[in-house]
């Protein structure tokens, strides 16, 4: 039974299933899970003695595989917050870590600011998008990032510039003991209908090319330089391949879908199988884009 830990931390719970908190719908039990609603709640908790190491940060659970053996220590789950989202002077938008990337894209369109449309097609929250410099359709977060707010283990928040974060393809340099809690986006004014039309086009393309109606975690592998992981996977004949309840998507070979009965072990085994087969057939070493955390069962 999941219960509150104490009156001082009503959002701290014990023995929490992670499967409902990941987009693959798999994963074991988190020993402890803290779900703040505000940045102030998060800062106070980190500064309290109630935190148990190790810390695992989870947003909306995309781009993440939690093993069936679950997670030790404390999970910080930002799915429900912090979620402040506001327009600031000079065409800047501040979005806290728990806001979904799609919501950020809609908000920017509502205030007639262009540049964030690609976020509409990225699953998960802006905190995770920051951590991996998420991108789609030829754009990435680094293109519009003015800066980011980081929080440390004592709950202190500071501002970091893009140069400090050393953003590169699907990665950002996060200093040890600090985590992303907000993004500051630098955008440009544009006609709202033009922004909406561009967003509709991107979402239509996503619907046509990705398995959006099946449980998945987004792209599984990073694209190697000058090539596409999906092309390499498909060339090895793995499109549609299954491992237990996990399947290489027929829609897009760089997606693994959970057909309903899949486990984290099924998915991880399929990831390893894909990597091995692509390496043997092409000599290319595919690098996973998804983060794999937790214990073996």
For residue 73, give the CATH number of its domain: 3.30.43.10
- Determine, yes or no, domain membership for 6: no
- Determine, yes or no, domain membership for 258: yes
| 97 and 188 both lie in a single domain | yes
- Determine, yes or no, domain membership for 5: no
| 52 and 116 both lie in a single domain | no
Neighbours of 264 (CB within 10 A): 27
Give residue-wise pLDDT tens across range 40-87: 999 999 999 989 999 999 999 999 999 999 999 999 999 999 999 999
Straight-line distance from the first to the last Cα atom of the chain, in angstroms, rounded to the nearest whole number: 20
Q: What are the backbone angles phi and psi of residue 277, rounded to the nearest 5°?
A: -70, -40
Please state the rounded mean pLDDT for residues 213-219: 96
Give residue-wise pLDDT tens across range 166-196: 999 999 998 889 999 999 999 999 998 999 9
**Is residue 11 annotated as part of the catalytic site, yes or no?**
no
Give all strands (DSSP E) within 104-223, no chain letters. Answer: 113-114, 135-136, 139-140, 145-152, 157-160, 178-186, 188-189
| 101 and 162 both lie in a single domain | yes
Task: Provide the mean pLDDT of the chain.
Answer: 94
CA–CA–CA angle 263, 264, 270 (5° rounding) = 95
Helix/strand/coil for 101: helix
Helix/strand/coil for 197: helix
Tally helices (H) and strands (E) across the chain: 7, 19
Q: How many domains does the chain have?
A: 3
| Predicted pLDDT of residue 248 | 98
Decide: 267 and 214 in contact? Cβ < 8 Å: no
Q: Where among 56, 77, 98 does a domain terminate?
A: 77
227: pLDDT strictly greater than 50 = yes
Strands 139-140 and 157-160: unpaired
| 127 and 202 both lie in a single domain | yes
User: Which residues make Cβ contacts (< 8 Å) with residue 147, sequence separation at least 6?
Assistant: 159, 160, 161, 162, 184
**Is residue 188 annotated as part of the catalytic site, yes or no?**
no
Which one is catalytic: 140, 149, 247, 289? 289
Which one is catalytic: 37, 103, 170, 196? 170
| 175 and 289 both lie in a single domain | no
- Determine, yes or no, domain membership for 217: no
| 134 and 244 both lie in a single domain | no
Helix or strand run (H / E) with residue 271: helix 264-282
Percentage of the chain lying above the pLDDT 90 cut: 92
Q: Find the CATH number of the domain harbouring 95.
A: 3.30.465.10
Q: What is the extent of the structural domain holding 48?
A: 11-77
- Determine, yes or no, domain membership for 137: yes
Q: Where among 179, 208, 237 does a domain terminate?
A: 208
- Determine, yes or no, domain membership for 165: yes
Tell me the CA distances in angstroms from 124 to 23, 104, 119, 231, one per residue in order: 9, 11, 10, 25
Which one is catalytic: 9, 101, 219, 249? 219
Give residue-wise pLDDT tens across range 153-169: 999 999 999 999 999 99
Q: What are the backbone angles phi and psi of residue 275, rounded to the nearest 5°?
A: -60, -45
| 187 and 254 both lie in a single domain | no
**Is residue 193 annotated as part of the catalytic site, yes or no?**
no
C-alpha 117/C-alpha 108 separation (Å) is: 8
Beta bridge partners of 189: 113
Decide: 68 and 82 in contact? Cβ < 8 Å: no
Q: What is the total residue count of the chain?
A: 297
The token pair at 127 is 């905190």
C-alpha 78/C-alpha 269 separation (Å) is: 28
3: pLDDT strictly greater than 50 = no
- Determine, yes or no, domain membership for 271: yes
- Determine, yes or no, domain membership for 247: yes
| Predicted pLDDT of residue 112 | 96
C-alpha 249/C-alpha 272 separation (Å) is: 16
């Amino acid at each position: 039974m999941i219960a509150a830990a104490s009156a001082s931390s009503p959002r701290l719970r014990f023995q929490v299933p992670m499967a409902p908190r990941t987009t693959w719908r798999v994963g074991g039990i988190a020993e402890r899970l803290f779900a703040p609603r505000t940045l102030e709640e998060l800062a106070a908790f980190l500064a309290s003695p109630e935190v148990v190491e190790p810390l695992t940060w989870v947003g909306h659970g995309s781009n993440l595989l939690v093993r069936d053996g679950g997670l030790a220590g404390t999970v910080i789950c930002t799915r429900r917050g912090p979620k402040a989202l506001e327009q600031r002077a000079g065409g800047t938008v501040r979005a806290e870590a728990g806001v979904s990337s799609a919501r950020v894209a809609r908000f920017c369109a509502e205030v007639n600011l262009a540049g964030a449309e690609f976020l509409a097609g990225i699953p998960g929250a802006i905190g995770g998008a920051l951590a991996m410099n998420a991108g789609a359709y030829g754009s990435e977060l680094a293109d519009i990032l003015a800066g980011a707010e980081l929080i440390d283990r004592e709950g202190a928040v500071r501002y970091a510039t893009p140069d400090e974060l050393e953003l590169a393809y699907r990665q950002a340099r996060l200093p040890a003991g600090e985590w992303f809690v907000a993004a500051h986006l630098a955008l440009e004014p544009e006609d709202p209908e033009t922004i909406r039309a561009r967003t509709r086009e991107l979402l239509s393309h996503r619907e046509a090319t990705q398995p959006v109606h099946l449980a998945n975690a987004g792209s599984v592998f990073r694209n190697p330089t000058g090539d596409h992981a999906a092309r390499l996977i498909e060339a090895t004949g793995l499109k549609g391949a299954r491992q237990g309840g996990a399947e290489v998507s027929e829609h897009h070979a760089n997606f693994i879908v959970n057909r309903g009965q899949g486990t984290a072990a099924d998915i991880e085994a399929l990831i390893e199988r894909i990597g091995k087969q692509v390496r043997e057939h092409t000599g290319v070493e595919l690098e996973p884009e998804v983060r794999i955390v937790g214990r073996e069962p």
